[in-house]
Structure 1
Amino acid sequence: MTIDITQLNLTNITLDLHEDGVLVATLNRPAKRNALDAVTVEELVTLFSAVPRAGVRAVVLAAEGDHFCAGLDLVEHHKEDRRPEDFMHLCLRWHEAFNKMEYGGVPIIAALKGAVVGGGLELASSAHVRVADASTYFALPEGQRGLFTGGGATIRVADLVGKARMIDMMLTGRVYKGREAIDIGLAQYLVEGSSFDVALDLARKAAQNLPLTNFAICSAISHIGNMSALDASYAEAVVAGVVNTQHAARERLEAFANKTAARVRPGD
C-alpha cells in the first residue's frame, strides 16, 4: 500500500514533495540549531519508515536556520537526567532512524551548513551524499563534554574518515571544514553558494534512475560492506542478477546499443 507521505503528522520536520518524486525534508528547530530531541528522533523513524513505501524517488535532507544539526539536545538530556537503560533505549531509536536512512534504498542527499556536530554528524553520515557549503564545519565534541557517541559515529563516521581521525576528533575537539573536510571524506561536495540548491539538483538527477537500481545502490552496498569478501562476492552477484535483468532497463540498454544514449564524459 502506498503511503501519502505529506499526511505524516510531524512537528519538527517539514515536508515538501515535488512532482518529480523528490522529497525535501527540513529539520525545523532553528532556535536549537536543529538539535535532536527525543521527539525529532521519533519523527525521523516515522519519516524514513514511510519513504520507501511512498513512491519517493530521492530525498533532500535540509535544515532551517544557519545550522544543519548541532547533535543531541543537551538541554533536554540534562533536564531528563536519564538512567543508563533509558539513554540506551534512546540511542537505539537513533540507530533505528539512521539505519532506515542508510539501508532504506532511497537516495538521501544532505544539504549541510553551519554546525554538523556530534549527533548531527551521525545524522549526516547516514545520508548517501553530503553537500557542504563554505559555512559548514564538522566536529565530535563528545570527549570535552564527558560523553560518548551513541548514534552510529563509531560505525559511519569512522568508516568515512578512519578510526584514527575519529579518535582525534573526540579526544581533542578537532574541527574540520572546507577542503580539508572534503579530502578526509566527511562530504563529497563543497560549494561556494547554496548547498541546498546543489543537493536538490543531485537529488533530481538520482530520481531519474530506475527505482530498483537506486534501491540496490542505496542498500546493497552498505549490506555488502558488512560481509566477508566471500559472502560479499556472492551477494553482489545475486543483486546484479536481479537488477541487471529488470524489464524497466530494456529501453535504456537499447538506447546504449543503438548509440543514442548520452555518453559518459568528464565534467567541465
Structure 2
Amino acid sequence: MNYENILISIEEKVATITIDRPTKLNALNKATISDLSNAVESLSKNDDVRVIVLIGSGEKAFVAGADISEFANYTTVEGAQLAAEGQESLFDFIENLKKPVIAAVNGFALGGGLELAMACHFRVASDNAKMGLPEVTLGLIPGYGGTQRLPQLIGKGRAMEMIMTAAMITAEQAKDYGLVNYVVPQEELLSFTNVIAQKIIKNAPFAIGKAIKAINANFKDGKNGFDTEIKSFGECFGTQDFKEGTAAFLEKRKAEFTGK
C-alpha cells in the first residue's frame, strides 16, 4: 500500500513507521491519521513483524500537534466526531494492539503528538524532546485520549497542571514523571529503541499480547484487571509457545517462539 505521509521500513522483525511531514513538523492531519491507522493494521497482520516503532522525520519533531487548519471552523458535532473517529481508528487501536508499539520521541511531541506517543505501549525520548498538551491555548481540551492517559502515566496532580498551564516539559522531566522510560542522545534514539525491541522479540508473542490486554484492563471502566489476567494466563497454556518455552527451559536451550 502506498502512503501519503508516512514511510515504513522492516528490519529484523521491527517495523519502523516514520511520520513524514517535515515542513509541518509532522503535524497530524486526517490523511496522516488514516495512513497510520492503515499501516498499523497491516503490520499487525504481518508475521514478519513483532514490534512496531513510531518516530517522526527529521530531528525537530516527533509530532508537533494536530493540523489546526483542518478543524478551525468545525461545529460542536464535527469536533466530537473528529475526536471519536481518531480515538477509535488510531489511538485506542494502538493501545490495544497485540504487538508492542514503542514511541521513539525525537523532538517536539505536542498535543495530538503527545497523545499518539501516550497511546503507544511505552516511550523512549531523545534528549532534545519536549512534550506538552497546549490545547487550552486554543480554547480546546485534548481530544485524542490526553485527559485519560496522561493522569494514568504521571498522576492526576501533574496531569492537571500540565493540561491547565499548557506548559511544555523537557525529556528529563518526562522521565522523572514516568512519561518516558529512557532519555538518550538524538543520534542514538533508534538504535537504543531497537535494542529494547530485540529483547521483546526473543519472547513469546502470544504471551506479550495477553500481557498488554491484562495491563490495559486495569485502566478500563467496568473491567476487572485481575479477572482478565487470570483468563489470559490460562489461555497461554493452550499455545505452542508455552510448550516450546517450557521445553526449552527444561532442556537448557533458547526457545524459538512462533506466536502460535
1:87 aligns with 2:44: no
- Aligned residue for 1:152? 145
Percent identical pairs in the alignment equals: 31
- Counterpart of 1:54 (choices 46, 49, 52) is 46
- Aligned residue for 2:24? 32
In 2, are the aligned partners of 1:101 and 1:126 still within 8 Å (CA)? yes
Note the C-alpha offset of 1:160.
0.7
1:256 aligns with 2:249: yes
In 1, are the aligned partners of 2:25 and 2:63 still within 8 Å (CA)? yes
Task: Tell me the distance in 1 between the aligned counterparts of 2:222 and 2:163.
Answer: 29
| 1:166-193 deviations in Å (ceiling 9; x for gaps) | 2211222222113221111110111134
| 1:17-67 deviations in Å (ceiling 9; x for gaps) | 22x321111100011111101111122222222232222211011110221
In 2, are the aligned partners of 1:41 and 1:93 still within 8 Å (CA)? no
Task: Tell me the distance in 1 between the aligned counterparts of 2:54 and 2:27.
Answer: 14
Q: What are the residue-to-residue correspondences of 1:1-268 with 2, within 5 Å?
A: 8-18=1-11, 20-55=12-47, 56-65=49-58, 66-78=60-72, 81-96=73-88, 97-192=90-185, 193-226=187-220, 231-260=224-253
Give the total of aligned pairs: 251
Task: Tell me the distance in 1 between the aligned counterparts of 2:198 and 2:69.
Answer: 37
Amino acid across the alignment from 1:217: A
Q: Please give the secondary structure, in 1, of the residue aligned with 2:71.
A: helix
Note the C-alpha offset of 1:251.
3.1
Note the C-alpha offset of 1:93.
2.1
Amino acid across the alignment from 1:195: L
Question: RMSD of the TM alignment (CA)?
Answer: 2.0
In 2, are the aligned partners of 1:118 and 1:142 still within 8 Å (CA)? yes
| 1:172-226 deviations in Å (ceiling 9; x for gaps) | 2222113221111110111134212211222222222222012112333212432
| 1:145-180 deviations in Å (ceiling 9; x for gaps) | 222110000111121112221221122222211322
Q: Please give the secondary structure, in 2, of the residue aligned with 1:154.
A: helix
Q: Which runs of 5+ in 1 are unaligned?
A: 1-7, 263-268
Task: Tell me the distance in 2 between the aligned counterparts of 1:217 and 1:232.
Answer: 11
